[in-house]
Chain A
C-alpha cells in the first residue's frame, strides 16, 4: 500500500451538483496531484498542490478547484457537474526532494447521472 488514502471510494451525483473529494497524502509527502481517469483511458493531470498553493494545472476548466491543508491533505472540488465528469479521480502524493516519483491512492469513482 502507498499510504495515500482517498474518500469517498464511490459516489453518484446528479448533473449540475457539486462534489468534494478528499485525499490524505503519504507520510512525509508534501506535494499532492490530482488526476482524472476516464474509462479505458490513461490518467489526465488536473492540478498539483505544493505548500498549500496550486503549482501547475492541466487542461481542465475553472469549475475544477482544489485546496491543500497544512498537514498536506488535499481536496478536489468540482462544480456544475457534467456527465463527462464521470471518471476515477486519483490523488497522488510525492516528496519534493525525491524529484517527482508519484504514488497513487485507490481513487474515488464518480458517476454523474
Chain B
C-alpha cells in the first residue's frame, strides 16, 4: 500500500516569514494530493490540492508543488500570520481509489 511521510513534525516561524512542509509518497499510481489544516479540536479542512497533471498550484498565500518523478510534494505558505498556526496534513490517493493515506502531520506555530 501507499506510505506517506511528512516533515518536519513541528515548525516555528516568525510572522511574515515563509513556511514549507514536505511530503513523500511511495505509490507511483497516486495522482491526487490534498493538504488539510486542522485547528485544535476541529475537523481537518481542505486548503489546497493538486493533481498529477500539474506541477504547481497557487491560492493566494498558499502554494503546492508536485514532483512525480521524485514522488514528493510540498506546501508553501508565504507571509505567515498567527492564524496560520495549526496542524497541517498531506495526503495521497489514486483517482480511481477510495482511500486517502495521510502523513503524520506538521504542527506549525507562527510567532507574532
> A66 on the interface (CB 8 Å rule)?
no
Residues of the A chain whose Cβ atoms lie less than 8 Å from the Cβ of B101: 45
Known A-B contacts A99-B95, A100-B95; the reply to A42 vs B45 at CB < 8 A is: no
* Range class of the B interface residue count: 20 to 34
Asked if A100 and B32 make an inter-chain contact with CB atoms under 8 angstroms apart, the answer reads: yes
Closest to B32 in A: A100
Asked if B98 and A104 make an inter-chain contact with CB atoms under 8 angstroms apart, the answer reads: no
A interface residues, tally (CB under 8 Å): 25
Residues of the A chain whose Cβ atoms lie less than 8 Å from the Cβ of B44: 43, 90, 104
The residue in B44, B45, B97 that gathers the most chain A C-beta atoms within 10 A of its C-beta is B44
* A74, chain B: closest CB distance, angstroms: 14
Asked if B43 and A107 make an inter-chain contact with CB atoms under 8 angstroms apart, the answer reads: yes
**Separation of A7 and B95 alpha carbons in the complex (Å):** 29
* B2, chain A: closest CB distance, angstroms: 10
Known A-B contacts A90-B44, A104-B44; the reply to A42 vs B99 at CB < 8 A is: no
Asked if B105 and A33 make an inter-chain contact with CB atoms under 8 angstroms apart, the answer reads: no
User: A42 is contacted by which of B43, B49, B89, B98 (Cβ under 8 Å)?
Assistant: B89
* A33, chain B: closest CB distance, angstroms: 7
Asked if B43 and A45 make an inter-chain contact with CB atoms under 8 angstroms apart, the answer reads: no
Closest to A42 in B: B102
Residues of the B chain whose Cβ atoms lie less than 8 Å from the Cβ of A100: 32, 93, 95, 97-98, 100
User: B34 is contacted by which of A31, A56, A101 (Cβ under 8 Å)?
Assistant: A101
Residues of the B chain whose Cβ atoms lie less than 8 Å from the Cβ of A40: 105
Residues of the A chain whose Cβ atoms lie less than 8 Å from the Cβ of B34: 101-102
User: B89 is contacted by which of A43, A55, A106 (Cβ under 8 Å)?
Assistant: A43
- Considering the complex, which residues of chain A in the window 59-113 have a beta carbon less than 8 Å from any beta carbon of chain B? 90, 99-107
Asked if A45 and B100 make an inter-chain contact with CB atoms under 8 angstroms apart, the answer reads: yes
Interface residues of A (CB under 8 A from B): 2, 31, 33, 35, 40-45, 48, 50, 55-56, 58, 90, 99-107
- With A100-B100, A101-B34, A104-B43 known, 9 other A-B pairs at CB within 8 A are A33-B99, A40-B105, A41-B104, A41-B105, A43-B102, A45-B101, A102-B46, A103-B46, A106-B43
